[in-house]
Amino acid sequence: MGREPGDDAKPAGAKPDGARADGAGERSNALPRIDLSTFILSLSTSALYQLGVVDGPDGERASKPNRLLAKQTIDTLEMLHEKTRGNLDGAEAELFESLLYELRMRFVSTETDPAAGDSAVPPR
């Protein structure tokens, strides 16, 4: 008998989706579980890359910082912080505050840095 459509049962001894039968790579390609902390860390890392502070996933530094895009990413984090106020646990609130402080300081430091590129941020 063949499998019926919608039958999601796995054969005995089957490995989880994406795992190789020989066991290699079961954990090596696993991504971290996404929660609020992981999400804001990811956005923060993107902002640092956009400011030219850290290397990208390919190991290359941004050829020229993009302050406009970095500002938008920081603004997104600020909006998320405001919208989640009162719903964060202590660790999440502290992480948010420290990341936003660090990003704001890095952003301001690029205003006077000639290497920061010429992608100007329009005044508010």
Is it the case that residue 112 has pLDDT exceeding 70? no
Predicted confidence at residue 110, as pLDDT, reads 85
pLDDT top residue among 47 and 26: 47
Predicted confidence at residue 115, as pLDDT, reads 56
- Span 48-94, pLDDT tens digits: 999 999 888 888 877 788 999 999 999 999 999 999 999 999 999 99
CA 101, 104, 108, 114 dihedral sign is positive
Average pLDDT, the chain: 78
- Indicate the helix (H) or strand (E) that contains 108: helix 90-111
Structure tokens at 80: 């998320």
Rounded distance, CA 12 to CA 118, Å?
A: 60
Rounded distance, CA 93 to CA 110, Å?
A: 26
Is it the case that residue 46 has pLDDT exceeding 80? yes
